Amino acid sequence: MEDSGYSILRNPGTNKGTAFTLEERKKYGLEGLLPDQIETMETQILRVNEQLDSFETPINKYIYLTALLDTNETLFFKTVISNPAKFLPLVYTPTVGEACQRLGHITRRPRGLFISIEQKDNIETILRNWPVKDVRFTVVSDGGRILGLGDLGICGMGIPIGKLVLYTSCAGVPPEYTLPIILDVGTNNETFLNDPLYPGLKRKRIGGQEFDEFIETFVVAINKVFPKICIQWEDFAGKDAIRILDRYHDKVCTFNDDMQGTAAIATAGIITASRFSGTPFNTQKILFLGAGAAAFGIADMLVYKFQKDGLDRKEALKHVWMFDVNGLLVKSRNDLADYQKPFAHESEPSDDFAKSILKIKPTAIIGVSTVGGAFNQQVIENMCAVNLRPLIFPYSNPTSHSECTAEQAYTWSKGKAIFASGSPFAPVTIEGQTFTSGQGNNVYIFPAIGLAIFATEANRVTNEIFVTAAEAVAEQVTEENFAKGLIYPLIDNIQEVSYNVAVKVAEKIFESGLAGIKKPTDIRTFIKNKMYEPKYR
């Protein structure tokens, strides 16, 4: 600890607040700086909950919890872990969406690193300004496509901060190894450009070669300054996201959670549904509403899983269909991006999603369109007409952009739907039966993968790793869970789930020759010993 008692209290990493012992108070000169009463962490959490519950709106609760993270890091993580179902929606989705929209107005203390296009030639120096010299994880965004809210520019910083909070809260990645970064390349959000409290560059967003060169300079610099870094790309606009991942996934340790994390959790849900319905995974047929980066990421991983389960690529592609603003992706269309073309079929054009269901007969529909209410009653009823237990996955965030609600899916399907959404919904009771809706939250995937990468010092992140994670998540769903409507494990058990996933992923990393260390004899103990536990030291 630092010498000065006052500075110890002001450092979120060393502050224990009222939990400092008498000996520590004397040793560090804290006497008189705190009330005499020495409290346990449990008492402190009781106070946090009481204060938090006095706020009515989620955004004010978010502001309070952010202030706690800035003042007492250990207490913050212990609080979040104490009740994940309560706190995860407050520190991340859906509340983080509003937090990003209002960041310039609610921020108290800057957190992470801000790197603008105007500092392109100074990136290495900026990275070295960070006080920790061995950073292992960075979540990076340019604010181009925050959740379903569009271009939020530098206000998208709430996403990297929130994601890294989940690394620690859900999988025990030590917080000192994490670094949130926002790349400020301008914004096309006119509201922000005219807002005196917008903290970013007041200029239109850059693109093209200038953007790509900026990303290249950043990637080179961060790998030089932090040689064991893993870069998680987050909320870049679709084409940028696909291009960046395609360019760097074989060169450095990197992944895109919007594409690969979302893909893995969607795949896990379909694996679970297949397992309990007794239908082989490779007989599933999936229809997407939305054909952007998220859809492409999920589709690509589903094809990989179909191939793993015995289909050749040509056959696997027949099991994946997409529908976008211009209708069904068919080969006769001339407006398709290169990444969309493999998923275009020899079929008649259609601009009616509900009718396309009757024709294609998908077993699952996945919404990544950000169009709230797009899965209307006709869509759900048509899915029931071609399936005994249709899979309904409205994955768009935040809640207002969800393609349907849990209540709508269960009501319109008369309780037949197997449902999972991107944002949380309350349990629904239909004719006396209560369904606990599943949340297809990437939180089951990326923190666990992060823990495995941290432990093994992996140098690459492959699709095989994400499929392994998806299978490991699905394994942990019990018959009792499924009977209640769940296709993912309970969020209350997130740390245990993440631990089990991390073990399987670490085994795959060693097996694939991607690890930077020698394989330990006991992987479970090895992983457990790497996990951060929020306790006062």
The residues assigned a catalytic role are: 92, 163
Residue 520 has φ and ψ, to the nearest 5°, of -75, 160
d(CA 26, CA 20): 10
Radius of gyration of the chain measured on its C-alpha atoms? 23
Q: What is the per-residue DSSP string for 102-145? A: THHHH--S--SEEEEGGGGGGHHHHHHTSS-S---EEEEE-SSS
Q: 136 near 225, Cβ under 8 Å?
A: no
Q: Which contiguous run of DSSP H or E holds residue 181?
A: strand 178-184
d(CA 112, CA 115): 10
SS3 332: coil
Q: What is the per-residue DSSP string for 360-371? A: H--SEEEE-S--
User: Rounded to 5 degrees, what angle do the CA atoms 99, 102, 105 make?
Assistant: 120
DSSP state of 242: H
DSSP state of 261: I
User: Rounded to 5 degrees, what angle do the CA atoms 225, 231, 234 make?
Assistant: 135
Residue 128 has φ and ψ, to the nearest 5°, of -75, -15
d(CA 143, CA 199): 13
Helices (H), 325-364: 353-360
> In the structure encoding, which two tokens stand for residue 81, read together?
């872990």
Q: 101 near 158, Cβ under 8 Å?
A: no
SS3 323: strand
